[in-house]
Amino acid sequence: MSPATLVKAYRQGIFPWFGKGEPLLWWFTQPRMVLQTDQFRVTDSLRKQIRTELKRDHLRITFDTAFSEVIHACASIHRKGQNSTWITTDMVAAYLHLHELGVAHSVEVWWENQLAGGLYGLSLGHIVYGESMFARRSNASKMALCALVGFCRAENLPAIDCQQITPHLQTMGATPLPGESFQRLLQAQVDQPSPEWRFDPDHLDALLNGKRP
């Protein structure tokens, strides 16, 4: 899983997914779960929670501040129906390298200066590839996703690749795309210039207010 191989794979919609002790396996899932950023849905209760906790200074959101902590948390957190993690030691090392190269990024949600949740993924051109998220506090991973979508909308990034179909992602607006449609999306967007990753409160505020920055 060298950086060059990973980038080449993701540019074609291919990603690694395997467990400890298994051979290196590469996947192109069909249909492909994709979150069109303009279709993202935020519940009224989540809007209220984010606004309230930001106002009280309990909540803080950052980008690329604690990538290592986020990916290790994603690897170690217990998930219902899973006895082990696919985020192996080799996988962690590979994505840490991609982060050093400015390809892999993280979103962190802090509650009273403790890491409460977050997500990580890749950014190539105008496509974001979501890899994993975690929460140690209620809705913390959803807050991270809100911050990410706010950023994507501000930077005109049309889609976040979610890879797998899950009911949780469907409730937030993600939909399955046929493999051919996903490849056309990649071809149109992956060679665009990648934006600078930064958290701007105005981007999140615009999302919560249903506006574009």
Dump pLDDT digits (tens) for 76-98: 876 555 544 678 888 999 999 99
Q: Provide φ and ψ at 36, rounded to 5°.
A: -70, 120
CB of 120 within 8 A of CB of 70?
yes
Q: Please give the Cα distance from 24 to 136 (Å, whole number).
A: 30
> Which DSSP symbol is given to 165?
-
Angstrom distance (rounded) from CA 160 to CA 42: 16
pLDDT digits (tens, 9 = 90+) for 27-78: 999 999 999 999 999 999 999 999 999 999 889 999 999 999 999 999 987 6
Domains detected in the chain: 3-208 (3.40.630.70)
pTM score over 0.85: yes
